[in-house]
Structure 1
Amino acid sequence: MLKIAICDDEQIVCADIEKIILDFKKESGLDLEVEVFNSGTDLFKFIENENTFDLIFLDIEMQDLNGIQIGIKLRNELEDYVTKIVYISSKDNYDRQLFEVQPMHFLSKPIDKEKIIADIKLALKILGKSGGVFSYKIGHSVHKIPIKDILYFESMDREIKLVSIKGTVYFYDTIEAVLSQVSSFQFIQIHRSFIINYAYVSKFRYEEVIMQNGECLLISQRRRKDVRDLLISYEKEETQCN
């Protein structure tokens, strides 16, 4: 899923961009989620409340909290250097402060449909969205990792252990919240404590799976049939593709 925010104090601009995105979603079959904001303050409060976006179409000239201020707060206060920002403006001259924000692109009003679509495709490419991106927070910082790089998640009381090809990290969340982010990808919950990426399963046994890093993870009794059926189906698909 690519999570997109549109923020402009002109409602008609927001409506135009939203329609372009939703039409493109229908035509392409891509999993795109859109949130619309008519105030910079509302957008930033939403993000502060532990909500994240992959791509933001952001108006520069807003009355309360303008696009430049939001971008700087996003990068400096929330330490989010991953979210892609496309600035929208009715002017052609851009403030030097924008370089601090490192936007992905600039769009001039009136909005061009093909440029919006091109920016969505570019964000997908940059963020590796063919496999998705998983978002999590450590303190006030938002971190993102390509879903294709994740081996498994383990719930340890209130803490989540994320094991990837790049290493292991810990963050506070629930296993249910993790599953909601990854369930549309190649993940399955094999136990109340484990969610695995079945692309990284090296061997399947009746009571456990062995991951490609050598770790053995327990399968709960009530999930064994579902896990077995899914892994068999996945192996067939892989064989057909190869």
Structure 2
Amino acid sequence: MIQIAFCDDDQTVLAQLSALLEKYRAQRCVQIQCTAFHSPLDLLAEIEKGTRYDILFLDVIMPAENGITAAKEIRQYDNVVKIIFLTSSAEFAVESYVVGAYFYQLKPIWEDSFFRLTDSVIAECRRADQRSLILRCKTGISRIDLDQLLYCEVLGRTAGHCAVPDRRHRAAGCHRAGRHPAAAAGTGALDRAFGARAVALFAQAAAAVRRGRQRRLLPH
């Protein structure tokens, strides 16, 4: 299920976004869960608790804290979420991409543009899920590209350490089998470190395992 959050200090805009998303959800038959925030401080508090969103529609100009500043703080906890800035001015367009914004949408938001944008960002989320792992690390939530993975140490259902060319991640929580399509078929626990080639083989083999069956894919 896609997790989406709206954050805007204008209740009228929040109501409009919610109505557009409800219509989108019905027409596209997509499972989406949405949470609306009136203040970026409330959104940040939720993210600090560990709540993860796939897509965030974030207003730029708000009284408590502007969206650009809020996005910089969000990136300290989550470098995966797709951030779409909403504003009536193009003033912050360049600065928005410094925090890795997916898109900069000018208000007012029309149905056709909302549908096209939502189609695009959901498709990107699904592509990213198929070629990467999402881990909750000591430094926050990170997406690990399988093509860049050098090794991954797994203990039971917990990813202990993952390494990519420019950094090493130490997982802080449990990475369950169902979180990633490569492991969604229900596989046996791996309790050894394995190389990038083994990860690829594991992904291929896991896809062939019938959901619900437990099978050890790699020998100890």
TM-score normalised by length of structure 2: 0.71
What is the total number of aligned residue pairs between the two structures? 203
Mapped contact 2:137–2:169 kept (Cα < 8 A): no
1:54–1:84 Cα contact (<8 Å) kept: yes
Q: Which residue of 2 aligns with 1:235?
A: none
Return the letter of the residue paired with 1:56: L
Q: Distance in 1 between matches of 2:91 and 2:63?
A: 18
Deviations 1:45-69 (A, max 9, x none): 1111111222111101111121011
Partner of 1:14: 14
- 1:83 maps to a residue whose letter is V
Alpha-carbon distance between aligned partners in 2 of 1:173 and 1:20, rounded to the nearest angstrom: 35
Distance 1:203-1:143 versus aligned 2 partners, 3 A rule? closer
Check 1:27–1:133 CA distance in 2 against 1; reply closer, same or farther (3 A cut).
farther
The aligned runs of 1:49-68 (5 Å cut-off) are 49-68=49-68
Of 119, 122, 128, 2:120 maps to 122
- Distance, in Å, in 1 between the alignment partners of 2:34 and 2:145 is 20
Q: CA deviation at 1:146?
A: 7.2
Encode CA deviations 1:146-177: one digit per residue, 9 max, x unaligned.
Answer: 79xx9x995548x43589xx9x97523246xx
The 3-state SS of whatever aligns with 1:64 is coil
1:9 Cα deviation (Å)? 0.8
Unaligned runs of 5+ residues in structure 2 are 191-201
Q: Quick one: which of 90, 97, 100 aligns to 2:98?
A: 100
- Which structure carries more strand by proportion? 1
Q: Deviation digits for residues 2-57 of structure 1, max 9, x if unmatched? A: 22110001112112112212221222122322111110001111111111222111
1:187 corresponds, among 184, 188, 210, to: 184
Aligned to 2:205: 200
Give the AA of the match of 1:59. D
Displacement of 1:201 in angstroms is: 3.9
Matched, 1:110 2:115: no
RMSD of aligned residue pairs (Cα, Å): 4.0
Query: Match of 2:135?
Result: 136
Q: Is the 8 A contact 1:186 1:199 kept in 2?
A: no
Shift, 1:120, TM fit: 1.7
- Structure 1-normalised TM-score? 0.65
Q: Give the residue type in structure 2 aligned to 1:137.
A: R
Q: Which residue of 2 aligns with 1:230?
A: none
Q: What is the distance in 2 between the residues matched to 1:146 and 1:124?
A: 18
Q: Which runs of 4+ in 1 moved over 6 A?
A: none
| Distance 1:207-1:47 versus aligned 2 partners, 3 A rule | closer
Gaps of 5+ in 1: 218-242
Q: Which has the larger radius of gyration?
A: 1
